[in-house]
Structure 1
Amino acid sequence: MIPITVIAACATVAAVPLRADTGQTIPEAMIEEMISLSGTITYLEGDAPGLILGAIKGDTVVVEGFGETARGNGITPDGDTVFRIGSITKVFAGEMLAHAVARGEVAFTDPVAPLLADPLGAAAAQHPDIRLIDLATHSGGLPREVPRAESPDSDPFQTITPDAFADWLQGNALQFAPGRGSAYSNFGFDLLSAALSTAGGASYPDLLADRITRPLALDDTTFTPTAGMAERQMIGHAPDGEALPIVPTGAVITGSGGLYSTANDLLRWMRWHLDETGPDAQVRLLDHAVYLPRDGLETVVSMDESGRMDAMGLGWVAMNATAESPFYLQKSGALQGQMSYIAFAPQYDAAVLITMNQYDFGAAAGMTEAANALLRTLSGY
């Protein structure tokens, strides 16, 4: 675990020495000041009970928490605070696809239908081939959510089942030909994780643990929090400020959402992404590549929420370099009152993470812009 040092009543910071790989030296204390100032402003401009901001530059890792893990509880979040990462789960699924390709279990262009159990596989086979790369780039022509029966409030994802996916595929045409557009799809990423489970010969959570979380010691990144994690959990809040219940996401929502993590875990995972020479270099090469340029697509829907999508990687939204910004890969996520964003500039050895515990889409836009501005500064722009 990254050590956490208390520096103020409202915040905690963790840091290790800097190694600047881009020729730009930024003192550790200056990075801490950047995090503290940016986080304080972002927290005060929003209405969320709490916020966590973290960053990497070279070997420096800083995490700072603001406010409370739940409104009124008096507990300041820190690097070990557990929260739901929502759709950031998708870029874990993208990396899992890269692992499977590197191992020779699948190819990017393999159709998904043969890797799905019937009746879901048979229903998918009725359509033009939806390839694994189409699922990972939101280009499979599938809807955002699977249409399904209403679920109880205590278990709102209960009716997301393989049969619900099969029913839609049996009775509906794809929204566009696979690979010809990009439209945000939780539906597609849950098909992807099911296919990777078949290819890997084990449950998707077990494969994720074997290939990502256990080797990197991401002990708090899981679909099923332990009792100890539950005691450290950030509580999400509705737009009106009411605390939202902690609800299960079930066994199907594994590619699109469902993961819990911490800032310390996610930044350790970012260190793996920024390591050019360490183990799994081939996986990183596959995972950081761009596979679907925006140019020439017939339609692009709901892909610009945290900045204009110039191309799609394996779940990552690619943002082209400009005179004011480096090339970077980013992903946002929201679930049950928690809103998060992660981005990294691989050529500048820099990454940022930010999360807040209330649904507030105006504040979320400010949150992502603050993170992007920090990433630009850390990259020397």
Structure 2
Amino acid sequence: MLHWNGRGLRAVAFALAGSIGLAQSSFAEDRVLSEAVDFSGQVLYLQTDVPGLVIGAVRNGETAVFGFGETAKGSGKTPDGDTLMRVGSVTKVFTGAVLADLVADGSVKFTDHLQDRLGWNVTVPAMDDKPIRLIDLATHTSGLPREVDREPGPENDPFSTLTKETYEKALAEGVQLFPAGTGGLYSNFGFDMLAAALGSAAGKPYDALLAERVLEPLGMTDTTFAPSEGDRDRLMQGHNFDGSPLPDVPNTPVMSGASGLYSTANDMVKWLKWHLDRFSPEMAEMRFLDHAAYVQRDALDPTYGFDESGHMDAMGLGWIVMQPEGDRPLILQKAGGLQGMFVYHAFAPTRGVGVFVAINEFDFSASMLMAEVVNGLISDLAPR
């Protein structure tokens, strides 16, 4: 949690607020929420010294979104709730939600084997006679590596070698690192396979399936795998570790499950608001399945790649589950980073509070602080 100790930090934050470049895309009637989100965003922006930052939050159905800095260095344009950005691995929890919806309507089962659902002409590895199941892919327990081994693509199209054929070759060569269900290893490979399997099971391209099952029902009109040319003027520029701009580069169809989505703070607030409407009858079975913890940490050996934004106690469908601790309630969270963007979102499903934040520069210390601030803000707005 980020603590505001002493009057000095508060005085500095408010003294500089006028020069930060504040944009309010929504102002909640809940004045406590607005003040907490605004102030947290101001201080986080000052501490990280990134080019730009957007923060949004939900509390008991009320929402607030604030932006600071610039969408790109020197642009003079302050980000707001409609600023478009890559959300990287936050894509995974959308893939998990699609899985939850298909399980809810009986189209698939969590225990279906990847081999039976993938629909590719390849034999999926099964170490120690433990087939990889859909639930293993969704909880990072498949034994598949973090990334598929591939040739690097050109600078202006680095993902061009991330193809179905690349994945088929890896699967055929027995790429699995440990038997499915026995360990936990964060895997982009696994979530790309999950999306491919879900699209095959539904008989349609995965992007169409995601739109049908999640994006359209939630009204997330700015969440997409491929922004239109007309939308590019509101795209947030990502920056590398040295502060240089990174190009926005195209996705390939096979990376849809792990990292391909673009979205806005306003759409991410809609997403969080849906998760927090836990007594709504609309899509209730899907939400119930999506919020469950399926694998406890103490059941896994090894566990690697889960704790950058807070200690993982259990795994949901792409969600990192953090059990209550001290004043902090139960939290489901997921972070992402791609092409110079770091994003993080988390919510307390029983407390009605969720927060999304994004920065447009690769800075690991800033990304860790960002998660700390969000988790602390949830604790402040919804203490146990």
Tell me the TM-score range normalised by the shorter chain.
over 0.9
Deviation at 1:119, TM superposition (A): 2.7
Give the AA of the match of 1:375.
I
User: Quick one: structure 1 residues 322 and 123, their matched pair in 2 at CA, closer, same or farther if it must change by over 3 Å?
Assistant: closer
Count of aligned pairs between the two proteins:
364
Give the gaps of 5 or more residues in structure 2.
1-16
| Aligned twin of 1:311 | 314
Deviation at 1:228, TM superposition (A): 3.0
| Aligned twin of 2:176 | 174
User: Partners in 1 of 2:98 and 2:324 — Cα distance?
Assistant: 26
Counterpart secondary structure, 1:234: coil
Looking at secondary structure, tell me which structure has more helix per residue.
Answer: 2
Q: 2:22 aligns with which of 2, 11, 17?
A: 11
| Aligned twin of 1:347 | 350
| Aligned twin of 1:361 | 364
| Aligned twin of 1:113 | 115
Deviation at 1:8, TM superposition (A): 6.4
Contact 1:274/1:346 (8 A) holds in 2:
yes
| Aligned twin of 2:104 | 102
Deviation at 1:79, TM superposition (A): 0.4
User: Partners in 2 of 1:209 and 1:160 — Cα distance?
Assistant: 22
| Aligned twin of 2:137 | 135
CA deviation profile, 1:212-248 (whole Å, cap 9, x unmatched): 1111111100101122321111000001111100101
Deviates more, 1:208-217 or 1:306-315: 208-217
Q: After superposition, where does 1:45-56 map in structure 2 within 5 Å? A: 45-56=47-58
Contact 1:182/1:297 (8 A) holds in 2:
yes
| Aligned twin of 2:373 | 370
Q: 1:257 aligns with which of 243, 256, 259?
A: 259
Contact 1:220/1:229 (8 A) holds in 2:
no
User: Partners in 2 of 1:8 and 1:124 — Cα distance?
Assistant: 58
Counterpart secondary structure, 1:347: coil
Contact 1:342/1:354 (8 A) holds in 2:
yes
| Aligned twin of 1:22 | none
Deviates more, 1:291-300 or 1:82-91: 291-300
User: Quick one: structure 1 residues 150 and 144, their matched pair in 2 at CA, closer, same or farther if it must change by over 3 Å?
Assistant: same
Deviates more, 1:110-119 or 1:83-92: 110-119
Matched, 1:194 2:206: no
Q: After superposition, where does 1:16-55 map in structure 2 within 5 Å? A: 16-17=28-29, 28-55=30-57
Deviates more, 1:91-100 or 1:219-228: 219-228
Give the AA of the match of 1:292.
V
Deviation at 1:326, TM superposition (A): 0.4
Q: 1:288 aligns with which of 291, 305, 317?
A: 291
User: Partners in 2 of 1:34 and 1:274 — Cα distance?
Assistant: 19
Deviation at 1:125, TM superposition (A): 6.6
Deviation at 1:16, TM superposition (A): 3.9
Counterpart secondary structure, 1:244: coil
| Aligned twin of 1:20 | none
Give the AA of the match of 1:94.
G
Counterpart secondary structure, 2:218: coil
Deviation at 1:173, TM superposition (A): 4.9
User: Partners in 2 of 1:348 and 1:68 — Cα distance?
Assistant: 33
Give the gaps of 5 or more residues in structure 1.
1-6, 18-27
Matched, 1:334 2:326: no
RMSD over aligned Cα atoms: 1.5
Deviates more, 1:75-84 or 1:150-159: 150-159
Counterpart secondary structure, 2:255: coil
Contact 1:235/1:243 (8 A) holds in 2:
yes
Give the AA of the match of 2:310.
G
Contact 2:125/2:176 (8 A) holds in 1:
no
User: Partners in 2 of 1:150 and 1:264 — Cα distance?
Assistant: 34
Give the AA of the match of 1:128.
K
Contact 1:124/1:166 (8 A) holds in 2:
no
Contact 1:289/1:313 (8 A) holds in 2:
yes
Deviation at 1:35, TM superposition (A): 1.4
User: Partners in 2 of 1:311 and 1:378 — Cα distance?
Assistant: 23
TM-score, normalisation: structure 2: 0.92
Deviation at 1:124, TM superposition (A): 4.3
Contact 1:39/1:52 (8 A) holds in 2:
yes
User: Partners in 1 of 2:301 and 2:126 — Cα distance?
Assistant: 23
Deviation at 1:192, TM superposition (A): 0.2
CA deviation profile, 1:256-284 (whole Å, cap 9, x unmatched): 01100000001111111111232010000
Deviation at 1:379, TM superposition (A): 0.7
User: Partners in 2 of 1:333 and 1:33 — Cα distance?
Assistant: 26
User: Partners in 2 of 1:269 and 1:228 — Cα distance?
Assistant: 24
Give the AA of the match of 1:15.
F
Deviation at 1:115, TM superposition (A): 1.5
Give the AA of the match of 1:289.
A
User: Partners in 2 of 1:154 and 1:160 — Cα distance?
Assistant: 14
Contact 2:125/2:175 (8 A) holds in 1:
no
Deviation at 1:198, TM superposition (A): 0.8
| Aligned twin of 2:209 | 207
User: Partners in 2 of 1:354 and 1:49 — Cα distance?
Assistant: 14
